[in-house]
Amino acid sequence: AAAEALTSILIFINKNYNAGDAGIRITGNL
């Protein structure tokens, strides 16, 4: 459940900022 929530959040962020690189950086920082 936690993994699914994180994935949904990352997708949400990627859609808002419209940048895949941002999602990759965020995942790496986590």
> Hey, what are 20's tokens?
């895949």
pLDDT at 12: 82
Can you tell me the distance from the alpha carbon of 12 to that of 9, in angstroms, rounded to the nearest whole number?
A: 5
pLDDT at 26: 57
- Tell me: the pLDDT tens digits for 1-30? 788 888 888 888 777 666 555 555 655 555
List the chain domain ranges.
1-30
CA distances from residue 3 to 19, 28 in whole angstroms, order as listed: 21, 15
pLDDT at 15: 75
Q: What's the predicted TM-score (pTM) here? A: 0.43
pLDDT at 24: 59
